[in-house]
Amino acid sequence: MIKKILIANRGEIAIRVIKTCNALGIKSVAVYSDEDVNSKHVKMASEAYHIGAASPSQSYLNMEKIAETTIISGADAIHPGYGFLSENAEFADLCEKKKINFIGPSGKSMRLCGDKMECKDVMIKAKVPTVPGSLGIVEEVEKALDVAHSIGYPVLLKSVFGGGGRGIRLVHDEKELREAFEIASGESKAAFGKSALFVEKFLPKIRHIEFQLARDKHGNAVHIFERECSIQRRHQKLIEMSPSPVVDQKIRDEIGEIAVKAAVAVDYHNAGTAEFLRLDDGSFYFIEINARLQVEHPVTELVSGLDLVKLQIDIANGQEIPFKQKDLKVNGCSIECRINAEDTFLDFAPSTGKIFDVNIPSGPGVRVDTYLYPGCTVSPYYDSLMGKLITWGQNFEEARQRMTLALSDFYIEGVETAIPLYQTILNSKEFISGDLSTDFLDRFKILDRLRDDMKKEASGKSEAALAATLIHSEFLKNRIKSHKEHSVRWKTQVDRH
Amino acid sequence: MIKKILIANRGEIAIRVIKTCNALGIKSVAVYSDEDVNSKHVKMASEAYHIGAASPSQSYLNMEKIAETTIISGADAIHPGYGFLSENAEFADLCEKKKINFIGPSGKSMRLCGDKMECKDVMIKAKVPTVPGSLGIVEEVEKALDVAHSIGYPVLLKSVFGGGGRGIRLVHDEKELREAFEIASGESKAAFGKSALFVEKFLPKIRHIEFQLARDKHGNAVHIFERECSIQRRHQKLIEMSPSPVVDQKIRDEIGEIAVKAAVAVDYHNAGTAEFLRLDDGSFYFIEINARLQVEHPVTELVSGLDLVKLQIDIANGQEIPFKQKDLKVNGCSIECRINAEDTFLDFAPSTGKIFDVNIPSGPGVRVDTYLYPGCTVSPYYDSLMGKLITWGQNFEEARQRMTLALSDFYIEGVETAIPLYQTILNSKEFISGDLSTDFLDRFKILDRLRDDMKKEASGKSEAALAATLIHSEFLKNRIKSHKEHSVRWKTQVDRH
Amino acid sequence: MLDGKHKWIGIDMKFKLENTDENLDGEIVKSVGNNEFVLKIQGKERDLKVITMTHDKVEFMLDSVYHITKYLENSTNRITLVIDGVKLTFNKRPDMDKIVYKHSGSDSAADSQINLKSQIPGRVVSINVATGDNIKKGDVVCVLESMKMQISIKSHKDGIVKSMKLKQGASVAKNDVLAEIE
Amino acid sequence: MLDGKHKWIGIDMKFKLENTDENLDGEIVKSVGNNEFVLKIQGKERDLKVITMTHDKVEFMLDSVYHITKYLENSTNRITLVIDGVKLTFNKRPDMDKIVYKHSGSDSAADSQINLKSQIPGRVVSINVATGDNIKKGDVVCVLESMKMQISIKSHKDGIVKSMKLKQGASVAKNDVLAEIE
C-alpha cells in the first residue's frame, strides 16, 4: 500500500494531488526547481526537495534526479500529474526498474497510447471508429498526397509526437501539403530523429468530446461520462463541461462502451481519457487516449462525486475499482474555465510576472484549483495555467450562471487573463444554446464581440471612474500640501476600529 | 415578480443572499450601520444605504428606517436573513402594510411559531409529539411546581421569548425551581412587560435533530431531510450535519411527515425548520418551528443540490415549489462548522478586533460562507459568527476528512476561534462513531482533550519553532547592525523574480 | 461653495474614454463633510462618499453604489485604472487641458489681491502670459506639472500682468507667488 | 566554524515550552551559503533553508519540511509565535539566561585584545563585574537589551577587569567598548 507519494510536478496539479494525499493520510513529497522555492505546492507538501534549475529539462523533466529524490525521501510512489513526465514511457519503465509505484499505466501501454498511429491501428482492429486517413505513418510526401487524394482535401498533417494542439497543420490542396510536409518532416527529424507524420481528413465544425475512463489491474473498467471540450483556441482547450449538451444517456452508453473498449485494447490501467471528435451528423471518431489525469478532471469529479486522484491511487495500489458502471449517475452539470496567464488580444501570448493581488471566488457550487496567492510569481519557464475555476449546478443554466458570477469575482492583478473572454463566451446565445465547435471563437467572431463588450463595460463604469479620479486627484494634491493636516480626514474607516 | 431585494441584515448571511440575487438577476440592496461601512456585504450589493448608528436597535432593528430605505431604493422585497428582524411578526405586518414583499411567513404564522406555548398547543392538536410539560404558560410559581412534580425533576424552565439557548434554566428540585422562577419571571417582565414562562421535562442525553421545511402559498409542502445539530455549547449550535447518523430513510419519512404536518398546522409559507429532540430510545419530540432561513442551511443545500434562498424567493413570488417530496434524495453527506470569533477557554467569550490576515480554505467539496477579508473588522456590536466552513463528501467519512483538512487551512489572525476545538471534536472516536448529544462537550470532557491536543501540537512544532527563532534572532540582530550590508542576503526569493 | 476648512479646489476634468468616442466632463461641486462630496458628472449632480483612499486606490459609494478603483498609470496624457474589475483608460482631450482649475486663489477675497499664488508644488511646464499683458479672470497664466498631472493655473481676476515670477522648468512651492496682476 | 564573511554569532538559546515540561536547547552551527544553515537542536544537527524573512515572519525548510512562523510577541521573558497555524510560547528558562552568547569578540584573534566590544546596539540592563575583578573567559560581563531580547555579553578572555565603560540604563552603539580586560 502506498504510504508516501512524490509528486513529479508543480503548480495547481501538484496542489490537487497533495489535497487527496492529505485526505487519505498519505505523506506527500514536493519537488521544486530554483524558480519554485516560493511556490504553494512546496509549502503544502509534507516534505519538499530541490531538484534543479528553473529550466524543466534540468528539474521537472530530470528523470534520474526525480527517481533518486523519491528514494531519498522514502516515497514509495510517484504521481506525475499532467504534462512533464506524465506520458513518458521511459520514465514509467525507470520507476518499475527502481521499484517505485508509478501512478499511471505501464510503460508498454503508455507507448501504445503515445504512438498515435499504432494506437489507431489497434483501435481499428478493436472496431473502434477512427478518423479517415493514412493507415500508419507516411514517410514520403507522395504517399501523403495519395492518401489526401483518396479521402479528399482539406486534410490535417499531424506529427505522431505532437499533442495538445502542437504539430498539427491544416492543408487545403496539393501545394500546401507539399510545403507543410517538408517543414513538418524537418521539425520532426530535428526533434525526434525521425519523420513520423500522418494524414487525417479535416472534419469541419467538429466538437471535441472525451470520455473519462478508469481501469484497474484486475480488468475492471468503467467510463465516468463525457466532457465537452469544444471551446478551444489554437487546438488548446479553454472551457470544458460535463455533461455535453449533445450527449444523452443512450449516446453516453454507446460511446462510453467504445471508450472502455479502447482502454481494454491497449491494456490500460489508471484513470485516463479517450478523446473523440463528434461531427454535426452525430457520428463519433476516436482520436487518442490520454494516459494521465486531465487538466479538466474536476468537471467529472463534480458530476460524479468521485475523487479521481484517489481512484488513481487505489488502482496503483492494485485495488479493484469500488463501483460498477451502473452505480454511476450524472449529477447536475459542471463547467470549467482555465485561468491562463495570457493576453487574449496578443494571440494568447503568455503573460508572466508577479501577482500583486488575487481574489479567489467562492460560494455555493464554486471550486477553484489554483496555485495563486498574493505575492506569488507566474514564471515564464512553465505553462501558463495558473488555475481552474469550476462551477457546479443542478443543470447547465445554474452552472453557467454561477460561472459568470464567479468569473466576475476572480480578480488577478499582475498578469493578463482570458477572464473577460470567458464572460463574453458564457453570455453568448450560441454557448447558451449549446452550438459548440472547436472553431467556436472564429465562427462567431468572439474576439470582436469581446472588444465590444469591453468597450461597453468601460463605458458603463466611466462616470464612476471619473468621479473617483476627481476625488483622488484632490487627495493626491492635499497629500502633497500637507500630510499632517489631512491625515485624519483620509484615515480609513478600517483603521478607526 | 421580485426584481430588487433589500437585505435587512449584515455579515455572511447578507452575502449569501446577495449571491443568490446575482444568480437570479435580481438587484440587491444592502443596508449598513456606521460600524459596517467597510463590510463586505456593502461592497457586494448592487446598492447600499446607510441606516444608522452601530447599535442594532438604531440600525438593523430599526423597522421604520429599513422599510423607508426599501421604498427609497425601489426594492420590492425584503430578505431578513436570520436574527435581527427575521422572526419579528410586527415587521412582517409592517411590510405587508407598505406593500413590500417580506420573504418569509405571514405575521400571523410567525406569531404562532414565535409563541412557543401557543405553537405547542397547536402541535398537540395536530398530533405532533411534544416534550412533556406545562400546557401553556405558567404565571404562578405554584403552578410550575405542580407541573414539575407531575412530570418529575429535573425540569427546564423556559421563557416564551427565549431562543438560541437564551432564557433556559435547568432546575433539579423545588428549591431551585422557586429561585429560578423568580429571576426568570423578573427578567421576562423587564424585557417584555409580562412573565411568560413554561416548564418542560429535562431530557438527558438528547440529540438536536431538525428538519428543513418548505411550504408554498398554494399549500404544497416538503421536508428537505434532517440536520443533526447536537454538537452545542451553552445551547448554541457549533457543528451541524446532514444526514444524521441516527436517521435512516424510514425515520426520515416518518419524522419528515410530522415536520410537514407542523408547517401546515401554523399555515407556514417560506423555507423553515422544525426542531426536534431525539431521545436515546429513538423517540422524537417537536420543540419549535424556526420561521426563517437557518445558519446551518448550507448542509441541506449540499446534500439536496437546492438553493434554499432561491426557494424562499420563489415562494415569496407566489410560485409553486418546483419539485415533489419523491424527487428529493440525500446525496452524500455534509458537515458545517461555525467559525465564531470567540475564545474557547474563556467560556466562549466573544473575541473582537481587526482581522490582520485570513486564509480561506478551498478545494473539492469545500464551501466557505464568510464576510472575512484581510483588514476587515469583527465588531463587538454584532454576533460572533464570522463565517461557516461546510464540506461535502460522498459519505460521512469523506466529509469529515475534508473538514479536518479545511480546518487546518483556515487561518484567521486577529481573533480567537474554535477551530482547534473543532479539530479535537472531528478527530474524536465518539464523533466518528456518531455518539452525539447536546452535552457532547461535557460528556467527553472535550475541552480537556483540546488542551492535551494543543500541548501535543505545540510540542510537535517546538523544534522547528526554535530553529526559526534562532535564525530570526540573527536576522533581527543583523538588521540592527546594518541594513544595507545584509539586505541582499535577506532579500526574499519572491522579489528576485 | 467649497468647504472653507478644507479649501476644496473645484477641479474641472475633461477626458476622452479610450477606444470609444465618449467624452467625459466632471467637477467637484462641494464637500459636505464626513468624507462626502457633491460632484457634477456629465452635467448631473452625484453624491460621493469616500470609504477608503490610498495613493493608488479609492473605495467609494457613488449614489449608493459601491465602487473600488485602483490606479495603474497616472501620467501626463493618460490615466489607466481598474474599476470594479474593469480596466479603462482616460486620455487627455486634445481640445483642452486635462485639468482646468476653476479657482486659483485660495481666498474668497481673491479678487482684491494682487498676488497669484500656487496652491500646489510643481514644475513649470509653460508660461502663457507676459508682463504687460491685459488678461481676464480665468485666462491661463501658466501650466504646472504635479504628481504627473498637468494643471493650468488661471488668473484669479481681470487685470494687467505686472510681473511674472516664473521660469520654465523651474519648481515652485506651495504658496509661491506666480505672478502679480493688478 | 562560523561563516567569516557574515560573522554569524553562535547563539545558544534555551527555552521552556509553555504548558509543558519540555526544555529546548538550540544553536546555529554554521552558515553554508545560499540562505542555508546548519543548526543543532536538542543536540541533533538539522539543515535549515530560509525562504523569506521579515521582521515578524520566517518561512523556511527544516530538513526538507516547509514551515511558516509568525512572531506575535518577542519580549524579555517570552516569545509567542504561530508556526504552521499552531500557536506556542517559549518561556525563558529560570535556570539560565535566555540567550547566551558563546562568542563576544568578533575577531578570531579576540584573546589578544584588551577591549571587549559590543556586537550590537542596546541598552545596559545590568553590569555583572567591577573594575579589578578577576574573571574567566565566558563570564558574563553585562547584559544588554536589544529588540526586546536580553543578551548576556561574556568575556572574550581570562583576565582582570581594568575598566568598565558602562552605566546601567545607558545605551551602547555597535562596536562601543564595554570593558577593558587585561
Q: Which residues of A are catalytic?
A: 292
Fold of B4-103: Rossmann fold (3.40.50)
Which chain A residues are Cβ-neighbours of B394 within 8 angstroms?
Answer: 305-306
D75 touches chain B (CB under 8 A): no
The whole-number average pLDDT for the span B241-261 is 96
Given a cut of 80, whether residue A185 has pLDDT beyond it is yes
- Round to whole Å and give the CA distance between B268 and B291: 8
The amino acid sitting at B470 is: L
CA distances from A319 to A165, A211, A219, A223, D109 (A): 34, 22, 11, 17, 67
The whole-number pLDDT of residue A74 equals 97
The whole-number pLDDT of residue C127 equals 86
Which chain B residues are Cβ-neighbours of D28 within 8 angstroms?
Answer: 470-471, 474
Confidence category of residue A190, pLDDT binned at 50, 70, 90: confident
The whole-number pLDDT of residue A162 equals 67
- Among D35, D39, D121, select the one facing B470 at the smallest CB separation: D39
The whole-number pLDDT of residue B234 equals 81
Mark yes or no for CB contact C147/A475 under 8 Å.
no
pTM (2 d.p.): 0.78
Return the residue of D nearest to A49 by Cα: D64
Q: Which residues pair with C160 in a beta bridge?
A: C134
What is chain D's Cα-based Rg?
Answer: 17
Instruction: Dump pLDDT digits (tens) for B345-382.
Output: 988 888 889 998 898 988 788 999 999 998 999 998 99
State how far Cα C66 lies from the chain centre.
Answer: 24
The whole-number pLDDT of residue A492 equals 33
Of the candidates B326, B318, B297, the one whose C-alpha atom is nearest the C-alpha of residue B309 is B297
The whole-number pLDDT of residue D116 equals 86
D86 touches chain B (CB under 8 A): yes
Test mutation, B461, B475, B482, B492, chain D, max D CBs within 10 A? B461
In this predicted model, which residue has the larger pLDDT, C15 or B427? B427
B109: left (phi over 0), alpha (psi -120 to 50) or beta: alpha
- pLDDT above 90: percentage of residues in chain B: 76
Averaged pLDDT score across all residues of chain B: 91
The amino acid sitting at C60 is: F
The whole-number average pLDDT for the span C149-158 is 77
Which of A424-433, A454-463, B157-166, D152-161 has the lowest average pLDDT?
B157-166
The whole-number pLDDT of residue C175 equals 74
The whole-number pLDDT of residue B165 equals 60
Q: Which residues pair with A358 in a beta bridge?
A: A412
Q: What is the DSSP letter of B100?
A: -
Q: Which residue of the set B16, B227, B252, B292 is catalytic?
A: B292
Mark yes or no for CB contact A377/B23 under 8 Å.
no
Mark yes or no for CB contact C41/A413 under 8 Å.
no
The whole-number average pLDDT for the span B265-288 is 94
State how far Cα B126 lies from the chain centre.
Answer: 28
Given a cut of 90, whether residue B162 has pLDDT beyond it is no
The whole-number average pLDDT for the span C99-117 is 53
Instruction: Dump pLDDT digits (tens) for D67-82.
Output: 999 998 887 788 999 9
Which CATH architecture group holds B132-201?
Answer: 2-Layer Sandwich (3.30)
The DSSP annotation for C14-30 comes to EEEETTS--EEEEEEEE
Given a cut of 80, whether residue A14 has pLDDT beyond it is yes
Give the angle subtended at the CA of B279 by the CAs of B276 and B282, to the nearest 5°.
Answer: 95
Do the beta carbons of residue C22 and residue C91 sit within 8 Å? no
Residue spans of beta strands (DSSP E) within A414-455: none
The whole-number pLDDT of residue D94 equals 54
Test mutation, C3, C57, C61, C69, chain A, max A CBs within 10 A? C69
Given a cut of 70, whether residue B487 has pLDDT beyond it is no
Winning range, highest mean pLDDT, from A8-12, B115-119, B261-265: A8-12
The whole-number average pLDDT for the span A17-40 is 95
Return the residue of A nearest to C61 by Cα: A464
- Round to whole Å and give the CA distance between A271 and A71: 25
The whole-number pLDDT of residue C126 equals 83
- Round to whole Å and give the CA distance between B294 and B301: 12
Q: Which residues of A383-419 are buried (b: 16+ CB within 10 A; e: fewer)?
A: bbbbbbbbbbbeebebbbbbbbbbbbbbbbebbbbbb
Q: What is the DSSP letter of A133?
A: B
Mark yes or no for CB contact C65/B73 under 8 Å.
no
Predicted ipTM beyond 0.90: no
Instruction: Dump pLDDT digits (tens) for A386-423.
Output: 999 999 999 999 999 999 999 998 999 999 999 999 99
Which chain D residues are Cβ-neighbours of A48 within 8 angstroms?
Answer: 61, 64-66
Given a cut of 60, whether residue A312 has pLDDT beyond it is yes
Angle between helices B419-426 and B446-481 (to 10 degrees): 130
B32 touches chain C (CB under 8 A): no
Return the residue of A nearest to C30 by Cα: A471
Fold of B207-455: D-amino Acid Aminotransferase; Chain A, domain 1 (3.30.470)
Instruction: Dump pLDDT digits (tens) for D132-162.
Output: 888 888 788 888 776 556 677 888 888 888 8
- Among B408, B480, B493, select the one facing D120 at the smallest CB separation: B480
Instruction: Dump pLDDT digits (tens) for C75-104.
Output: 778 899 999 989 999 987 754 443 444 434
The whole-number pLDDT of residue C155 equals 84
For chains A and C, count residue pairs whose Cβ atoms are closer than 8 Å. 129
D81 touches chain B (CB under 8 A): yes
D158 touches chain B (CB under 8 A): no
Cα atoms in the 13 Å half-sphere on the side-chain side of B6: 30
Do the beta carbons of residue B446 and residue B263 sit within 8 Å? no
Domain boundaries, chain A: 4-103, 132-201, 207-455, 461-496
Given a cut of 70, whether residue C24 has pLDDT beyond it is yes
The whole-number average pLDDT for the span A36-47 is 94
Test mutation, A407, A409, A477, chain C, max C CBs within 10 A? A477
C35 touches chain A (CB under 8 A): yes
- Round to whole Å and give the CA distance between B154 and B132: 12
A497 touches chain C (CB under 8 A): no
Cα atoms in the 13 Å half-sphere on the side-chain side of C46: 27
